[in-house]
């Protein structure tokens, strides 16, 4: 399993320290939410922030682009230190060329699907991606409540993965707490983004550990899954 604290919920007056705190927390990835004020009604931060914090951490940087025109942003984020770049399936015809461009930059590819968008829209791309991000809230803000109607989409994503013998990760993002992480694991998710629950906890390390335990209780098989995506200079983590 992968636990990915979302930097959006960290203390924005001290991004550097917060990235270091996440690095020491026992988490596997750092999730970085990029919002453009157009695809979603909020603005977060850009490639310069990613570049600035990159030297502070060896965590895998999972960059989630909630942007209408990601084409112009792929190279800056790749150069800034993203390990995986996720775009949204709602971009329609732009999706396939964006996937190929992310691949050509040597980065892992994520594809996200919003709660109101049918899961069938991701089907044509499944063989091309490393990670399928099932949004469990409407994107734009941290701290929202988990939308339970998204659970069947997680199940479908996992069913396709097994039927098609593909290896993409099934990632969930939005309203993930210790309870909903377990429920998502039971539905087939293996990668858990969590902002408020982890960064606002009194002890980030303890919160990560508790989330890992909650996931294991729902799906012990995930405990045996080693991380395959790791930075070259980062020791393989045994989970
Ligand atoms: C929502 C973002 C999420 C957000 C999750 O638009 O994509 O990554 O940071 O925050 P929580 O865990 O607080 O719902
Ligand atoms: Zn996100």
pLDDT of 209 over the 90 cut:
yes
Greater confidence (223 vs 202) lies with: 202
Confidence tier at 226 by pLDDT (50, 70, 90): very low
Helices and strands (H and E) in the chain: how many: 8, 8
- The CB of 139 under 6 Å from ligand 1? The reply is yes
Residue ranges and CATH numbers for the domains of the chain are 2-229 (3.20.20.70)
**Confidence category of residue 238, pLDDT binned at 50, 70, 90:** very low
Query: Distance of CA 24 to CAs 16, 17, 21, 218, Å?
Result: 13, 11, 5, 25
pLDDT band at 225 (very low <50, low <70, confident <90, very high): low
Residue 136 burial (10 A CB sphere; 0-12, 13-18, 19+): buried
Using 50, 70 and 90 to split pLDDT, how confident is the model at 222? Answer: confident
pLDDT, one tens digit per residue, over 26-80 is: 999 999 999 999 999 999 999 999 999 999 999 999 999 999 999 999 999 999 9
| Residues 192 and 172: beta-carbon distance below 8 Å | yes
Helix axes 151-163, 178-187, angle to 10 degrees: 40
CA of 160 to the centre of ligand 1 (A): 25
**CB distance 110 to ligand 1 below 6 Å:** no
């Amino acid at each position: 399993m992968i636990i990915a604290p979302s930097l959006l919920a960290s203390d924005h007056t001290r991004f550097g320290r917060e990235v270091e705190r996440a690095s020491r927390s026992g988490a596997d990835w750092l999730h970085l939410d990029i919002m453009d004020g157009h695809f979603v009604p909020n603005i977060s931060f850009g490639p310069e922030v990613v570049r600035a914090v990159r030297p502070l951490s060896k965590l895998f940087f999972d960059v989630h682009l909630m942007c209408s025109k990601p084409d112009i942003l792929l190279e800056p984020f790749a150069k800034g230190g993203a390990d995986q770049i996720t775009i949204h399936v709602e971009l329609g015809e732009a999706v396939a060329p964006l996937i190929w461009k992310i691949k050509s930059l040597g980065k892992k590819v994520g594809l996200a699907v919003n709660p109101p968008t049918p899961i069938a829209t991701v089907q044509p791309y499944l063989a091309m991606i490393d990670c399928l991000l099932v949004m469990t809230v409407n994107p734009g803000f941290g701290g929202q409540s988990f939308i339970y109607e998204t659970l069947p989409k997680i199940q479908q994503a996992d069913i396709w993965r097994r039927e098609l013998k593909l290896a993409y990760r099934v990632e969930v993002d939005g309203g993930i707490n210790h309870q909903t992480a377990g429920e998502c694991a039971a539905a087939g998710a293996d990668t858990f983004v969590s902002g408020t629950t982890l960064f606002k906890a009194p002890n980030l390390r303890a919160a990560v550990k508790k989330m890992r335990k909650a996931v294991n209780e729902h799906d012990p098989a995930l405990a045996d899954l080693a991380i395959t995506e790791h930075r070259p200079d980062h020791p393989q983590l045994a989970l």
